[in-house]
């Protein structure tokens, strides 16, 4: 079982930022990544739809023999983690809890900002996770829907993303926010500009944390505890990347999100 692949899914290609960190932290693990490029974005969809899509994909990955499941999408974690944990007989890890833990430890002012899709912010998932860790934390959340197309188009620097970041972060001005959670798969690509604008508006150093690194670390712990860690093989593990749509516009983004060229990308119907 430990040599079985890890199932990783996202609404599209954004979860490749999480997949990338998993391959760095756990180089012997083979990934079976499923990106729902035919139905992306999920960040503007309803709770019911996000749950239905998530279950649909999770069952498919389980049926393909995944040993554990990583919900690499913040929106899916925020709306469907509970139901996935309940309905699947596999270990399931989401991206909210690990970064919330890191952020709760990082803040010195007990005031955090959370940036995410509309659906993630509306769910209140980050507030709940942070307050479970420390009821004294103050959490200010801001939906940033335009960051997703900016990251996909590669507009991660320059006047346009800077102005967009300024508009989204303006409500935090005057607040003692010292830690920002990038609660969306796409935002790590905009991390430098978000940090620069935040520090300028807030007039203080701001720690910017994304889910990818914290999730890879939490996954290493989970696989170790469940005795599911893959042993080192002679050859590097063969990852498979499945997409529900294979348009060229997404293909251009793969390497930007994953940090390396993707091989073995296949179209899959759900």
User: Is 144 annotated as catalytic?
Assistant: no
Contact call for residues 45 and 120 (beta carbons, < 8 A): no
Task: Tell me the C-alpha to C-alpha distance, in Å, between residue 76 and each of 81, 123, 211.
Answer: 7, 10, 13
- The residue within the footprint of ligand DGL, chosen from 5, 35, 41, 213 (CB under 6 A), is 41
Query: Among residues 5, 7, 9, 11, which is the contact residue for ligand DGL, using CB under 6 A?
Result: 11
By CB neighbour count within 10 A (0-12 exposed, 13-18 middle, 19+ buried), where does 144 fall?
A: buried
Task: Give the shortest CB-89-to-ligand DGL separation in angstroms.
Answer: 25
**Residue tagged 């599911």 (tokens):** 228
- Shortest Å distance, C-beta 148 to ligand DGL: 5
d(CA 206, CA 125): 22
User: Which residues inside 57-96 make contact with ligand DGL, applying CB under 6 A?
Assistant: 73-75
Q: What's the closest the beta carbon of residue 190 comes to ligand DGL, in angstroms?
A: 12
Positive or negative torsion for Cα 138, 112, 25, 82: positive
Q: 73 an active-site residue? A: yes
- 120 lies in the site for ligand DGL, by CB under 6 A: yes
For the sheet containing 31-35, what is the strand order?
92-94, 68-71, 6-10, 31-35, 240-243, 265-267
Gap between the Cα atoms of 197 and 188, Å rounded: 14
Does the protein bind ligand DGL through residue 35 (CB under 6 A)?
no
Determine which residue in the list 43, 113, 143, 188 makes contact with ligand DGL, applying CB under 6 A. Answer: 43
Q: From the CB of 225, what's the least distance to ligand DGL, in Å?
A: 26
Encoding tokens for residue 150? 């900016």
Q: What is the H or E stretch that residue 6 is in?
A: strand 6-10
Coil vs helix vs strand at 101: helix
**Which one of the listed residues 34, 115, 184, 189 is annotated catalytic?**
184
Window 176-215: contact mask with ligand DGL (x via CB under 6 A): --------xxx-----------------------------
The only residue of 99, 141, 148, 206 in contact with ligand DGL, by rule CB under 6 A: 148
Helix (H, G, I), strand (E, B) or coil at 52: helix
Residue with Cβ nearer ligand DGL (172 or 250): 250
Work out which of 23, 54, 117, 215 binds ligand DGL, going by CB under 6 A: 117
- When the beta carbons of 17 and 179 are compared against ligand DGL, the nearer one is 17
Rule CB under 6 A: which residues touch ligand DGL?
A: 10-12, 14, 40-43, 73-75, 117, 120, 148, 184-186
Active site residues: 73, 184
């Amino acid at each position: 079982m430990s040599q079985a692949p890890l199932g990783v899914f996202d609404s599209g290609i954004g979860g490749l930022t999480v997949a990338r960190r998993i391959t760095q932290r756990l180089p012997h693990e083979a990934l079976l990544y499923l990106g729902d490029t035919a139905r992306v974005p999920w960040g503007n969809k309803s709770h019911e739809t996000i749950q239905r899509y998530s279950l649909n994909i999770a069952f498919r990955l389980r049926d393909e023999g995944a040993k554990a499941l990583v919900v690499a999408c913040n929106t899916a974690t925020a709306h469907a983690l509970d139901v996935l944990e309940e309905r699947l007989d596999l270990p399931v890890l989401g991206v909210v809890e690990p970064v919330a833990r890191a952020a709760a430890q990082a803040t010195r002012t007990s005031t955090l900002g959370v940036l995410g899709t509309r659906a993630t912010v509306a769910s209140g998932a980050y507030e709940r996770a942070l307050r479970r860790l420390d009821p004294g934390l103050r959490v200010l959340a801001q939906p940033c829907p335009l960051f997703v197309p900016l990251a996909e188009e590669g507009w991660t620097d320059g006047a346009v993303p800077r102005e967009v970041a300024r508009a989204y972060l303006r409500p935090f001005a005057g607040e003692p926010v010292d830690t920002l959670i990038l609660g969306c798969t796409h935002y790590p690509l905009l991390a430098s500009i978000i940090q620069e604008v935040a520090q300028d508006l807030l007039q203080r150093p701001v720690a910017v944390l994304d889910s990818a690194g914290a999730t890879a670390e939490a996954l290493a712990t989970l696989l170790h505890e469940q005795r599911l860690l893959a042993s080192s093989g002679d050859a590097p593990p063969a990852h498979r990347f499945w997409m529900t749509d294979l348009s060229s516009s997404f293909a251009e983004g793969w390497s930007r999100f994953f940090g390396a060229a993707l091989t073995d990308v296949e179209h899959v119907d759900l």
